[in-house]
Copies of this chain bind each other. A is one copy, B any other.
């Protein structure tokens, strides 16, 4: 069985970077946003729609699809289920392919039969806000308040999606093999020891 490492992360915790660099260090595949594209390929929905669903934003879903027109009511539920099924299928295909690191997408739960090593990355809210502010200053300009709101919204959506989909609490350490707090540690310093820990699984 391939060695599968899943990374769940609070927004702004540096979890994505940590996942990408661990994959680099171990010389194995890394999957993140490109999964969306693959899920969409398994369905007839647009990438944008799939992105909204897997990020937990289906309470305000717009009905843009590729081969369908408007849907309402119960049909919406079926539609969500078909995205979830495609998500599971996509992840299983990736897990069968080779050793890999997968960020997000409930991979820790959906690939449980593959016994992934499940990492949760988190940090204090203020540190996450600072990271987002630094990134924001280099790119677009949002107010501090807008950034705070954004972080809370993303976390809330991820938690809700995870709970509804898996029946487990997002971030509950019982469901992870390792929980890494990046509040007072540079992601840099964590890569090499974490990779060492993941060499033998």
Contact of A115 among B181, B184, B192 (CB under 8 A): B184
Instruction: Give A123's nearest chain B residue, CB to CB.
Output: B174
A69 to chain B, nearest CB (A): 45
Q: Interface stretch among A1-9, A34-42, A99-107, A193-201?
A: A193-201
**Chain A interface main SS type:** mixed
Q: Complex Cα distance A148/B97, Å? A: 42
Q: Is the CB of B185 within 8 A of A179?
A: no
A residues in contact (CB < 8 Å) with B: 115, 120, 122, 124, 171, 173-174, 176-181, 183-185, 189-190, 192-194, 196-197, 200
B-chain residues with CB within 8 Å of residue A194 when the two chains form the complex: 193, 197
Residues of B within 8 A of A176 (CB): 179, 181
Q: Return chain B residues, CB-CB under 8 Å to A200.
A: 189
Task: Give this chain's copy count.
Answer: 2
Given the complex of chains A and B, what is the CA–CA distance between A194 and B193 in angstroms? 7
Contact call A173/B179, Cβ cutoff below 8 A: yes
Docked pose: A183 CA to B115 CA in angstroms: 12
Chain B residues, Cβ within 8 Å of A115:
184
- A180 and B173 CA atoms in complex are apart in Å by 9
Q: Which residues of B contact A184 (CB under 8 A)?
A: 115, 177
Return the chain B residue nearest A195 by Cβ.
Answer: B193
Task: Give the residue name and chain of the B residue nearest to A190 (CB).
Answer: B197
Given B174, B178, B196, which contacts A178 in the complex, CB threshold below 8 Å? B178
Task: Please report the C-alpha to C-alpha distance between residue A175 and residue B58 in the assembled complex, in whole angstroms.
Answer: 32
7 pairs from A and B in contact (CB 8 Å cutoff) = A122-B173, A173-B181, A176-B181, A178-B178, A178-B181, A192-B196, A193-B193
Contact of A185 among B120, B122, B174, B177 (CB under 8 A): B177
